[in-house]
Amino acid sequence: MRIGLITPEPEHPLLAATTALLTPRHRVEAVDPGGWDGAPEDPDSFGALADVYLLKAHMPRALGLARYLEERGAPVLNAVGPTELCQDRTAMADLALRAGLPFARTRTVPALARLGGEELAYPVVIKSRHSRRHDLVARVDDAAGLRALGADWSGEPVVVQPFTENSGWDHKLWVIEGRVFAAVRRSELADPDRGPARSLTPGDLPDGWARLALRVGSVFGLRVYGVDVIDAGGGAPLIVDINAFPGIRGQAGAPEALAELALRTAERGAVPHS
């Protein structure tokens, strides 16, 4: 089998470990999306398609490349549609809440500066609407804090969520085709220098949280994904973020699960897109 990695970082620990498992019998090729300028006039100039592609990048060029590959019939994990959905926090919240998932109530504002004239029920969490590296994620406790944030982010499209009191620890739930991995990590809202995650077993999670993580995949059409959950009190889960193809660092068995999924998908020759 030929497995393509759509990523500028094939040395990422999860991808590197998965590649090491596959290469004794299969060919793994990294495709850097940074050089993608759109579909070539001659499709044959791109070369033969791989049997499956792992989409471990979310920038527009990566999504454009993945869409081109899907249109040519190549299976892509995750599919482009669900991946794009997870980049838009407004669309993410809308779908999650419509599906009855315990997701943070979310309001969209076209620019952070628009909040300056509003009476907000502080504290609130303000995030960039479009998820990306080094985006805005901040707790704001008062009008002075909002003004300070606006000094650097005034034109940023944002979502606003009520702040839910919690322990200051995020539960990181990761899923690879039905297999749940878990860890806890200090929330970036509680501690900017939050340190590494501490691994858990699914049995360490509050009752029902692993099933919730699996349901997220069904709702969003994802097969490799992460769900960030906080304890809103008494073990009640509140989802604060969903990520397509996260890093899943330091989780025993994750590279094996990803390698198995890639091969099964390649053998079937098709990936569900919704």
Render pLDDT for 200-225 as a digit per residue (tens, 0 to 9). 998 999 999 999 999 999 999 999 99
pLDDT in tens, 46-59: 788 999 999 999 99
User: Which residues, 6 or more positions from 167, have their beta carbon under 8 angstroms from its beta carbon?
Assistant: 230, 231
Residue 117 pLDDT: 78
Residue 33 predicted with pLDDT over 90: yes
**Measured CA distances, 201 to 3, 115, 251 (Å):** 29, 41, 10
**Lowest-confidence region among 117-121, 175-179, 230-234, 240-244:** 117-121
Tell me which long-range contacts 90-99 makes (C-beta under 8 A, separation of at least 24): 90/129, 90/159, 92/242, 93/159, 95/219, 95/220, 96/216, 96/219, 96/239, 96/242, 99/219
Give me the mean pLDDT over the 63-75 stretch: 95
Residue 132 predicted with pLDDT over 80: yes
Residue 193 pLDDT: 72
What is the rounded distance in angstroms from the CA atom of residue 171 to the CA atom of residue 186? Answer: 9
Residue 274 predicted with pLDDT over 70: no
Residue 242 pLDDT: 97
Beta strands in the chain (DSSP E): 2-6, 27-31, 52-55, 76-77, 107-109, 124-128, 137-140, 158-162, 169-176, 179-186, 198-200, 224-231, 237-244
Residue 145 pLDDT: 95
Name the token pair of 93.
Answer: 């919240």
CA angle 238, 236, 92 (to 5 degrees): 20
Residue 195 predicted with pLDDT over 80: no
Helix (H, G, I), strand (E, B) or coil at 25: coil
The answer to whether 252 and 202 have CB atoms below 8 angstroms apart is no
Residue 271 pLDDT: 42
Q: What is the pLDDT of the chain when averaged over all its residues?
A: 93
With a pLDDT cut of 90, the percent of the chain lying above it is: 83
Q: Name the band, by pLDDT with cuts 50, 70 and 90, for residue 270.
A: very low
Q: Name the band, by pLDDT with cuts 50, 70 and 90, for residue 79.
A: very high
Q: Name the band, by pLDDT with cuts 50, 70 and 90, for residue 175.
A: very high
Name the token pair of 169.
Answer: 């620890």
Give me the mean pLDDT over the 75-88 stretch: 97
160-176 as b/e: b if 16+ CB within 10 A: bbebbebeebbbbbbbb
Residue 177 predicted with pLDDT over 70: yes
With a pLDDT cut of 70, the percent of the chain lying above it is: 98
Q: Name 4's bridge partners.
A: 29, 53
